[in-house]
Structure 1
Amino acid sequence: MKDRVEYKRSNEIPGLVLGEARFSDYRFERHYHLDYHIALVTDGVQRQGFHGETLLLTPGSIQLMPPGEVHDGISAGDESYTLKTFRLSPQLLDGLGEEISGRDRFPALSGAVVRDSSLAGHLSRLHDALRAAPSGSGPIEVQSEWLTLLDRLFVQTRRVKPQFVKGTLTSGQWQRVKEYCDVHLAEKITLEELAALCNLERFHLTRSTRVPSRCS
């Protein structure tokens, strides 16, 4: 199978570039990135040299790769492998850090590999939905899922402590959300708009309640 790689800037999340590639013979020589990478191998196995060690990235594993970390990569055997990446700009990462942790900046993160097949599966499906936008899932559902999964992922690294969110939406907040959705049903509704109606940040809104795709 011929090697291929595709990149797409997310329509829903400014500062996010989505990559999907299929490699069999291609070898990544030692290199580093300028942005923050979250990588998933969804099929096959990638062998990677990182910090003087050899890592095998398999389906169900999630790699976090900060800027400046030198590494390489090649198929671990004769078979090809599929790689999906979320590439976060420094501005996007800092914004997520402020929302999730409540701090001004995202805490410094080193490279890490998280073994969680359930979370990896959710991230792979989110990757597909973001690449398919606007014909895929609605923007509210995608943005809510994005914050929820990133919260779970960074908490698993044990380097980020999410801010505590107490309680749920009040009846008045729910009413404002439902009325807004009824009026703007035929339009693109964003998580930022709904959060502003409730005088909350997006992360607070997603932690207070699971926001449906069309506010129903």
Structure 2
Amino acid sequence: MKVVPDIFPCEQDRAQFQHFAELPGIELYQAHISRYAFEPHTHEAFGIGTIESGAQRFRYRGTQYVAPVHSLVMMNPDELHTGESACEEGWRYRMIYIDPEEMDRLTGDRHWWFSDALRTDARLAQPFSLLLAKMWQAGSALERQSVLMELLEYLRPLAHQGQTRPVERAHRFDRVKAYLRENLAGPVRLEELAALARLSPWHFLRSFKQHFHVTPHQMLMAFRLFEAKQRLAQGESAAAVAAVVGLTDQAHLTRAFAHRYGITPGRYQKQVWTGR
């Protein structure tokens, strides 16, 4: 009898993560996905990667993209997005997730951001993909650190740094997002969120979905599961994490985590926890 159920409907589909003690704030990810559709989720980190075969469809900042083979995907932190196959055979891809503060520390350049979510240029994607594979297979901390510096040097011309990012005006939903982050484990009611935005519940829900392309509950679940991901990576038990982030129990965490990330909490923790 299997204690941990299969996650993907296709047996060939796999998702793997790596963390490294000498590289805090860095996560490597590689996967092959055929039939699975990732629900809206956030990494709250830069997510940069390449499509090595097939094609992916994803929604990011209200726009639908299709990333073909040998394309480069660049996502800024704290942006909800989805992911699914755009072709019959699915897609195989590699990603690196970099905490924005760690990006600043490593490069000495503040306020990185990417204006293009997708570059369909094999001359950009293939060398980056090779570097990601090299970092995944590196045999020592020094080698991984060196490859990471190569990756960042490669990305630098594709990004903006400093104060060139357009200033985003405060939005009435900023308070709502902050409230959701601060109340992961507490009961959240639609009337409370609507009052923060100074709208009726009906107008609030309609406007929120139009602005973010997700419901408040979907956003709350994305925040809960990102927090769960961080805590699991630090070695906390799945049962304790479920309680802290406001999920009913460990089984609820397992189902929700798998729907967002394509892997059970237990498998994720086994792959990434360094025991430090």
| TM-score, normalised relative to structure 1 | 0.61
Q: d(CA) in 1 for partners of 2:15 and 2:62? A: 27
Query: Per the alignment, do residues 148 and 128 of structure 1 end up closer, same or farther by CA in structure 2, a change over 3 Å counting?
Result: closer
Name the residue aligned to 1:178.
none
Tell whether the 8 Å contact from 2:49 to 2:129 is kept in structure 1 after alignment: no
Describe the SS at the equivalent of 2:15. strand
Query: Are 2:31 and 1:29 aligned?
Result: no
Q: Choose which of 42, 45, 50 in structure 1 pairs with 2:52.
A: 42
Q: Any unmatched runs of 5+ in structure 1?
A: 162-216
Structure with a larger share of its residues in strand: 1
What aligned pairs does 1:113-128 form with structure 2 within 5 A after superposition?
113-128=118-133
Describe the SS at the equivalent of 1:84. strand
Deviation at 1:29, TM superposition (A): 1.3
What aligned pairs does 1:38-117 form with structure 2 within 5 A after superposition?
38-98=48-108, 101=109, 105-110=110-115, 112-117=117-122
Name the residue aligned to 1:194.
none
Q: d(CA) in 1 for partners of 2:44 and 2:62? A: 21
Tell whether the 8 Å contact from 2:51 to 2:71 is kept in structure 1 after alignment: yes
Query: Are 2:152 and 1:147 aligned?
Result: no
Q: d(CA) in 2 for partners of 1:129 and 1:11? A: 18
CA deviation profile, 1:141-182 (whole Å, cap 9, x unmatched): x5444334423323124x248xxxxxxxxxxxxxxxxxxxxx
Describe the SS at the equivalent of 1:39. strand
Deviation at 1:134, TM superposition (A): 0.9
Query: Per the alignment, do residues 108 and 75 of structure 1 end up closer, same or farther by CA in structure 2, a change over 3 Å counting?
Result: closer
Q: d(CA) in 1 for partners of 2:83 and 2:36? A: 9
RMSD: 2.5
Structure with a larger share of its residues in helix: 2
Query: Are 2:138 and 1:133 aligned?
Result: yes
Q: d(CA) in 1 for partners of 2:107 and 2:116? A: 16
Deviation at 1:79, TM superposition (A): 1.2
Q: d(CA) in 1 for partners of 2:40 and 2:16? A: 21
Query: Per the alignment, do residues 30 and 111 of structure 1 end up closer, same or farther by CA in structure 2, a change over 3 Å counting?
Result: farther
Deviation at 1:45, TM superposition (A): 0.2
Describe the SS at the equivalent of 1:128. helix
Query: Per the alignment, do residues 35 and 156 of structure 1 end up closer, same or farther by CA in structure 2, a change over 3 Å counting?
Result: closer
Query: Per the alignment, do residues 51 and 120 of structure 1 end up closer, same or farther by CA in structure 2, a change over 3 Å counting?
Result: same
Q: Any unmatched runs of 5+ in structure 2?
A: 1-9, 163-276
| TM-score, normalised relative to structure 2 | 0.49
Q: d(CA) in 2 for partners of 1:11 and 1:119? A: 29
Name the residue aligned to 1:196.
none
Q: d(CA) in 2 for partners of 1:95 and 1:27? A: 34
Deviation at 1:11, TM superposition (A): 6.1
Tell whether the 8 Å contact from 1:42 to 1:81 is kept in structure 2 after alignment: yes
Describe the SS at the equivalent of 2:36. coil
